[in-house]
Amino acid sequence: YGQVNYNGQNFRGFVAVSNFQDDYFVDMGFNTRLLNYNPETDELVRIGYTNIASMLNYYIYPEDSKSVNFHWSGLENFGFLNTDGSGIEWYTRLRHFIFFKNTSQLRFRLNNNYLDLVFPFAITDPFLPVGSYNMTELNVQYNSDNRKMFGYELFAVYGQFFNGNKLTIQADLDYRIQPWGNFSVGLEHNEIWFPNPYEDVSLTLAVARAEINFTRNLFWTTFFQYNTQNETFNINSRFQWRYAPMSDIFLVYTDNYDVANMFGPKTRSFVLKVNYWFTL
């Protein structure tokens, strides 16, 4: 892994190169690219890759504007080459963000993605075939004033999706009750149109989240999610007690319901986790 950065007042950027072999295992966090799903054999295949990334940003600070704090324009490139030579992927993003003085934001992005699909893609019936795809999309995002107790985010995307087209609409609402609670709901809907003989796809994801702080050391977070792709309803609820500095006890309840089976549970679990911070 190697990276070179430049940070100036108006220009900022970096170039980075990293390599992950197929026998690499993540100690912390996760790497979503190493494991590739093959729907024809129903197995996960490990494929290493080399990643080349670059970003160049330009900032404009208008002196006479009463509403705009600054403009942020940028160009990003992310290239991936599989170590077994099975394919490449190249992702380019041109963007322009406007940051207002009331902390609201307006974001525009133009994305292009070239992809060598190594395995069939099981998003539709029949599966999308192995091959090369070149996709371009435009998305627009607005974030409201985050200083207020009630906030919202609106997001829309339209463009090419493999051999079809996709429209995504997303809305998120947040309500903050100082100093003890944060509540949010979100809805994302995707309409994907494919040519014959592939079936069109309609996907909806609904989420709700509640965060309650009983004291400075006792917290409760609950997350609900409904996904029409696999017709599941998920609940994740977590109690956290910080009994010492950087030391916590977590009690987590997780339930995954099968909506098509009259909310019959698919999986259910309780997890107790204890950690303690040692100072040597």
Give DSSP secondary structure letters for 117-156: ESS-BTTSSSPBPSEEEEEEEEEEEEE--TTSSEEEEEEE
- Three-class HEC string of 150-190: EEEEEEEEEEEECCEEEEEEEEEEEEEECCCEEEEEEEEEE
Has residue 28 got a pLDDT over 80? no
pLDDT tens digits, residue range 124-177?
A: 889 999 999 999 999 999 999 999 999 999 999 999 999 999 999 999 999 999
pLDDT tens digits, residue range 180-191?
A: 999 999 999 999
Q: What values do phi and psi take at 197, rounded to 5?
A: -95, 20
Count CB-CB contacts under 10 A for residue 178. 7
pLDDT at 26: 76
Has residue 54 got a pLDDT over 80? yes
In eight-state DSSP terms, residue 194 is -
Band of pLDDT at residue 43, cut at 50, 70 and 90: very high
pLDDT at 29: 66
Q: What number is the average pLDDT over the span 248-277?
A: 86
pLDDT at 208: 98
pLDDT tens digits, residue range 194-228?
A: 999 999 999 999 999 999 999 999 999 999 999 99
pLDDT at 251: 96
Count CB-CB contacts under 10 A for residue 161. 22
In eight-state DSSP terms, residue 200 is P
The rounded distance, in Å, linking the Cα atoms of 114 and 110 is: 14
The rounded distance, in Å, linking the Cα atoms of 106 and 71 is: 10
pLDDT tens digits, residue range 223-256?
A: 999 999 888 899 999 999 999 999 999 999 999 9
Q: What is the mean pLDDT of the chain?
A: 93
pLDDT at 32: 77
pLDDT at 85: 83
Q: Report in angstroms the alpha-carbon separations of 148 from 172, 175, 195, 196.
A: 15, 9, 45, 48
